[in-house]
Amino acid sequence: MSEKNEIHLDFRERMTYGEYLDLDRLLSSQQRLSGHHDEMLFIMIHQVQELWMKLILHELDGAVTAIKNDDLSASFKMLARVSSIEKQMIQAWDVLSTLTPSEYMEFRDHLGQASGFQSYQYRLVEFALGYKQPRVLKIYEKDPALHERLSEALHKPGLYDVAIQALAKAGFTIDPGILNRDVTETYEPDPTVEAAWLEVYRDVEKHWQLYELAEKLVDVEDNLQQWRFRHMKTVERIIGQKSGTGGSSGVGYLKSVLDHQFFPELWEVRTKI
270 annotated as ligand-binding: no
As a whole number of angstroms, the distance between CA 127 and CA 183 comes to 9
Residue 104 assigned as binding residue = yes
Tally the C-alpha atoms within 13 A of residue 84's C-alpha that lie toward its C-beta. Answer: 8
d(CA 93, CA 90): 6
Using the CB atoms, write b or e for 16-37: b if 16+ within 10 Å. Answer: eeeeeeeeeeeeeeeeeeeebe
Q: Is 245 annotated as a binding residue?
A: yes
Q: Is 142 helix (H, G, I), strand (E, B) or coil?
A: coil
Could you tell me if 89 and 55 are in contact, meaning their C-beta atoms sit under 8 angstroms apart? no
Among candidate residues 122, 109, 88, 105, the one with its CA nearest the CA of residue 254: 122
| 231 assigned ligand-binding residue | yes
Binding residues for substrate: 104, 108, 245
Binding residues: 104, 108, 231, 245
Binding residues for heme: 231
